[in-house]
Amino acid sequence: MDTQLSTTPARARTDVPAPGHPAAPAPIAPGTVRRLGLALTAGTLAWATSIFLFGTVNDGFAERFGDLTGLAFQLGVFALLTVQIRTRATGESHVSRIMLKVELVLLGLASVWSLLHGILPEPAQDHAALAVLDAFWPLSMLGMMVIGVKLAVAGRWRGALRWWPLIAESWAVATVPLFILVGEDGARWVGGGHLLLGYATLGVLLALRPGLVVPRR
């Protein structure tokens, strides 16, 4: 019987993350990026249609239509966030990853408001809890703006897709001041048009050029 002891060190495991380093997200296929990009475009087109038809300040059917198409847009933004998380678009640092998770929470709470405000009867729409949730709509959009800046600086997405999220996610910054300055009629066309130029086009770019966001091997 062989009783010799081996002094050869054990080979390092390559299928587990190193201590202190989080596991990388599962690779995302180009086809998945395409589908999520089209979901973003579809949701954006729904909300832009509502804004063009009814504006953002309305009541009755128009208000509920705006809430529910706004929810469709938010679901599209969830699709965008999925791509950003799976590609670590904002960078590898802990803070870069956390900001995407924080945005998921903000957007989730904003989406709950859109759903409830769109389906509940009018007396319930004025409940204090909904008023609190309503604040997460602008907060989630400002959060997306921060992500757009960080994504551009990180440079993990390439070509036009490095910069287009910054254009898309400037929606709140571009349209809210105009709403105050020019009123509902003018802001309607600016807000809807910005959605088409920004988020809707971003979704099309993801569908057409998924290779620009899939990490290089």
Angle at which helices 60-86 and 201-208 pack, to 10 degrees? 40
Percent of the chain residues past pLDDT 90, beyond the cut: 65
**Closest Cα partner for 203 from 44, 32, 75, 27?**
44
**Closest Cα partner for 209 from 34, 85, 77?**
34
**Closest Cα partner for 171 from 193, 149, 204?**
193
Element spanning 89, H or E:
none
pLDDT at 190 over 70: yes
pLDDT at 162 over 60: yes
Measure the N-to-C terminal CA separation of the chain; round to a whole number of Å.
46
pLDDT at 194 over 50: yes
pLDDT at 13 over 60: no
Task: Tell me the average pLDDT of the chain.
Answer: 87
pLDDT at 15 over 70: no
**Cβ atoms 200, 30 nearer than 8 A:** no
Task: Give the tens place of pLDDT for each residue, 56-109.
Answer: 766 788 889 999 999 999 999 999 999 999 999 999 999 999 999 999 999 999
Q: Which two tokens stand for residue 12?
A: 């390092």
Query: In the structure, what pLDDT confidence band is assigned to residue 216 with cuts at 50, 70 and 90?
Result: confident
Query: In the structure, what pLDDT confidence band is assigned to residue 25 with cuts at 50, 70 and 90?
Result: low
Q: Which two tokens stand for residue 94?
A: 């802990």
Q: What is the rounded CA–CA span in Å between residue 92 and residue 97?
A: 7
Q: What average pLDDT does this structure show over 167-193?
A: 80
**Closest Cα partner for 202 from 139, 157, 137?**
157
Percent of the chain residues past pLDDT 70, beyond the cut: 85
Query: In the structure, what pLDDT confidence band is assigned to residue 204 with cuts at 50, 70 and 90?
Result: very high
Q: What is the pLDDT of residue 62?
A: 87
Lowest mean pLDDT segment, chosen from 21-35, 104-118, 152-166, 170-184: 170-184
Amino acid at position 36, single letter: L
* Cα 17–Cα 23–Cα 26 angle in degrees, nearest 5: 125
Task: Give the tens place of pLDDT for each residue, 102-150.
Answer: 999 999 999 999 999 999 888 777 788 888 999 999 999 999 999 999 9
Query: In the structure, what pLDDT confidence band is assigned to residue 217 with cuts at 50, 70 and 90?
Result: low
